Amino acid sequence: MGKSYQIAVIPGDGTGPEVIREGVKVIEAAASRFGFSLSLNYFDWGGDRYLKTGETIPEGGIEELKRHDAIYLGAIGHPDVAPGILEKDILLRIRFELDQYINLRPVKLYPGVWTPIKDKGPEEIDFVVVRENTEGLYAGGGGFLRKGTPQEVAVQESINTRFGVERCIRYAFELCRKRNKKKQLTLVGKTNVLTFAWNLWERTFYEVAKEYPDIKPDYAHVDATCMWFVKNPEWFDVIVTDNMFGDIITDLGAMIQGGMGIAAGGNINPEGVSMFEPIGGSAPKYTGQNVINPLAAICAGMMMLEHLGEEEAALAIEKAVIKVCRDHLKSLSAGKMGYTTQEVGDLVAKYTTEDVEL
Ligand code: IPM
Ligand code: MN
């Protein structure tokens, strides 16, 4: 008898429940093939519940999450709820309270997937962004002075602690070593202008680098990085950056790997409970139409199984996703796949249980 995992599932808003349904189908298929089991506990947190009850995460909710092996999240964001409420009170609160200090976002172009980057293919687009996930501009420091007057002042502070920066950088070096590709870790920052925060990052980075003589430390400004994602994505192996820059560059990364339909990420606490999610939003206009692409959610499920140590299962899902992209889907965009959301889930689940030759 294989292991059993307790998974907290938060389908969330908009198309979240539809894509999570397909993701669950696929991870269940992998579990039955590879001899482990999943015990899924569903949480109805999100916009609808908030509109009915005024509650985002109910009392004791965070403690309940902590009793699981991992969290599988669909999407948070509702058109009838003011922007910021659900994002801050659900998504960011889980990231912070569970101390998921890494946001791991692979940027990998699968064969047969269209990229807007001319002349670049799967060989050239294959890197990982390690985004710090608990500090920086997201920490919530700042405030107003003289609010509502013509002299109003708004301050939004970027909080960077030696502790937070160092643990993130160490994670990135370890990952780069484990990945064993180019063995190059690029710090992405803005040392030429933001000379306090990025000086701390830079000093920490080169100090820690001394402990990893097998890894080449590299640096790029964030603006130039955006240029190189488009012009020379093959230059990157592993990138480490702060919360805000990581948020921005991973949207660009998602586009060059084929779009939000396939981009997944993990909010990782290496010593605690991690949460996996498609990185696109709740896409409310497609809700209930069975047209949204579930591959991003499926890939998030794959990352979750890999994180739990079920590497064979994760690999089988990846092969199935590659096959579906290569042999089936016309496009990764919602409504243009040539298949419904459910059909894509069925195909990936089926191939996950087979020995796929690529
Ligand atoms: C992301 C999202 C979130 C972020 C939002 C929804 C708070 O854009 O996961 O990248 O800014 O981190
Ligand atoms: Mn984002």
Rounded Cα–Cα distance for residues 190 and 336 (Å): 39
Which domain range does residue 228 map to?
Answer: 115-257
CA angle 188/193/198 to nearest 5° reads 45
Q: How many domains does the chain have?
A: 2
CA angle 267/4/298 to nearest 5° reads 45
Residue 119 lies in a domain: yes
Q: Is the same domain home to 120 and 249?
A: yes
Say which ligand is closest to the CA of 279: 1
* Residue 1 in this model has a pLDDT that exceeds 70: no
Cα of 247 from ligand 2 centre, angstroms = 5
Q: Which of 92, 156, 249, 267 to mutate to test the pocket of ligand 1 (most atoms within 8 A of CB)?
A: 92
The tens digit of pLDDT for each residue in 117-175 reads: 999 999 999 999 999 999 999 999 999 999 999 999 999 999 999 999 999 999 999 99
Q: How far out from the chain centre does Cα 95 lie?
A: 12
279 CB within 6 A, ligand 1: yes
91 CB within 6 A, ligand 1: yes
Q: Which of 78, 91, 107, 282 to mutate to test the pocket of ligand 1 (most atoms within 8 A of CB)?
A: 91
User: What CATH number should be reported for the domain holding residue 300?
Assistant: 3.40.718.10
* 63 exposure class (CB count in 10 Å sphere: 0-12, 13-18, 19+): exposed
The tens digit of pLDDT for each residue in 171-206 reads: 999 999 999 999 999 999 999 999 999 999 999 999
Q: Is the same domain home to 155 and 97?
A: no
249 CB within 6 A, ligand 1: no
Average pLDDT over residues 303-310: 98
The tens digit of pLDDT for each residue in 195-243 reads: 999 999 999 999 999 999 999 999 999 999 999 999 999 999 999 999 9
> Which three-class secondary structure state does DSSP give residue 3?
coil
The closest-lying atom of ligand 1 relative to the alpha carbon of residue 95 is 12
Residue 22 lies in a domain: yes
- Bridge partner list, 107: 127
The closest-lying atom of ligand 1 relative to the alpha carbon of residue 243 is 12
The tens digit of pLDDT for each residue in 321-348 reads: 999 999 999 999 999 999 999 999 999 9
Cα of 279 from ligand 2 centre, angstroms = 7
* Residue 2 in this model has a pLDDT that exceeds 90: no
Rounded Cα–Cα distance for residues 57 and 42 (Å): 13
Q: Is the same domain home to 61 and 80?
A: yes
Q: Is the same domain home to 248 and 291?
A: no
Yes or no: say if 300 and 7 are a contact pair by the CB < 8 Å rule: no
Say which ligand is closest to the CA of 275: 1
Rounded Cα–Cα distance for residues 172 and 130 (Å): 6
* Residue 79 in this model has a pLDDT that exceeds 70: yes
| Domain closes at, from 257, 289, 324 | 257
Residue 260 backbone phi and psi in degrees, to 5: -65, -15
The tens digit of pLDDT for each residue in 25-50 reads: 999 999 999 999 999 999 999 999 99
| Domain closes at, from 204, 224, 257 | 257
**Taking Cα atoms as reference points, which of 336, 222, 337, 313 lies closest to residue 32?**
313
Give the model's pLDDT for residue 353: 98
